Structure 1
């Protein structure tokens, strides 16, 4: 075999180029740090939309469909937008969007500060645990009648977890894959509490802010959950249409590195990853 110095220049250059590409490839693969829980991508992003408003069907679903991304819509069973536009919700589910459970009546704890909007009929502090559980289950029946699915996630109305100090979701664990809360945070699969998944509530932030959150999730290889209400209007909590569009464009442009999926699919992956970790010696 000839020494490298005696090999033709073209061969030496080819060998050097191959070695360089191999090193770059290994370096890139190391930096990517893909995770099975994130569908073998760098991170996971979940887009959630609360309260079953007209804007979900008029603005958000078409926007997501236009870039072939899927989200989770947390429906209040008693919302007139559910009853009046049921076929449209069914079509959204058929296109891969999750219809999540946001309770039948959206009860919130009226005893807390700043809760003057809570009516006596929908005051969670006046509920029994059994009532909250039964209403959530009734809403599941309604959602199943719309989409035919049994696996879905729950979102706490107003982020309220307890009734008289008791966590009512404890009785609902068999009914759901997971539940989304309202506390902000980025988490690895091991850090996630499937009974209270963290999320970032969006209200008036810029598109740059939304994209920066995604970049943080990419860098830390974590789960990022967005909590939207109105998009382009239609709700007291709102994000500008342009900002929302900027986020979707970034997610679509980086879909090879970012897993964007409904909450139920991400939660199922996390659940499997956590179970696998506990089985290891």
Structure 2
């Protein structure tokens, strides 16, 4: 009788512990997931970021503004980026942003999102998808909101475009567990001259919370006022590599597809 009671006690404890154990390895057997993203398709991504990523065996998402001069001048290099496992994401045709607010005086009037129609924005996003398909041959795509702007007037311009995109990345500092992520409004941590120490703390927080950390880089050793030094960038990526037993590092399209599948179960 005592043996039977002990047996059932062990079974009950195992069942109770299972959800906690699963949560700790929910990200393909890892405690947390990290997505590295680079916005705007600038020369420094190819010259400074890509060599470090490739040397460490890390795959990232590059959000491409199709009208970028770097894309026009270095098209074959971007094609090679995609062929080696990195993701080319949609960052609009001309990078429109809402320009009729304080601090946005730099937005060209031709690409002031507040002057766009919903149809114009959706047409430009679909055109960018077509352009990217011509580069990498892929039909599934993720999107990154330019300047974090999601609306034209009071309307969400991505509404009704779920068939065009697997997921979309916003610009808000937050880390969420797998079950609490809206794949069409994924939060991220934007790097703005942060130190490697600060960025490592974000990684540690993601591991502690067992959530998703998305990192947004613009300039890497130059090319944008929202910059990161070459040393901090390399040190941060090296830290991700060192934590690979606890981290699943992958492009956003892979992570978003995984989240969708898990949340459907």
Shared fold, TM over 0.5: yes
Cα offset, 1:31, TM superposition: 9.8
Instruction: Specify the alignment match of 1:82 in structure 2.
Output: 71
Instruction: Specify the alignment match of 1:150 in structure 2.
Output: 139
Distance in structure 2 (CA, Å) of the matches to 1:204 and 1:266 = 26
Q: TM-score normalised to the size of structure 1? A: 0.86
Matched, 1:46 2:35: yes
Runs of 4+ off more than 4 Å = 29-32
Equivalences for residues 109-148 of structure 1 within 5 A:
109-148=98-137
Instruction: Specify the alignment match of 1:34 in structure 2.
Output: 25
Cα offset, 1:171, TM superposition: 2.5
Q: TM-score normalised to the size of structure 2? A: 0.91
Cα offset, 1:82, TM superposition: 0.6
Cα offset, 1:187, TM superposition: 0.5
Distance in structure 1 (CA, Å) of the matches to 2:90 and 2:233 = 23
Say how many residue pairs are matched. Answer: 247
Matched, 1:172 2:161: yes
Instruction: Specify the alignment match of 1:62 in structure 2.
Output: 51
Measured against aligned partners, the alpha-carbon deviations of 1:129-163 in whole angstroms (never above 9, x if no partner) come to: 00000000000001000001111200000000001
Measured against aligned partners, the alpha-carbon deviations of 1:69-92 in whole angstroms (never above 9, x if no partner) come to: 000000001111111111100101
Instruction: Specify the alignment match of 1:98 in structure 2.
Output: 87
Structure with greater Cα Rg:
1
C-alpha RMSD of matched pairs (Å): 1.4
Unaligned runs of 5+ in 1: 1-25, 277-281
Aligned residue for 1:218, secondary structure, equals helix
Instruction: Specify the alignment match of 1:248 in structure 2.
Output: 237
Measured against aligned partners, the alpha-carbon deviations of 1:236-280 in whole angstroms (never above 9, x if no partner) come to: 11011111111111111121210000010000001111111xxxx
Distance in structure 1 (CA, Å) of the matches to 2:261 and 2:180 = 14
Unaligned runs of 5+ in 2: 1-16
Instruction: Specify the alignment match of 2:8 in structure 1.
Output: none
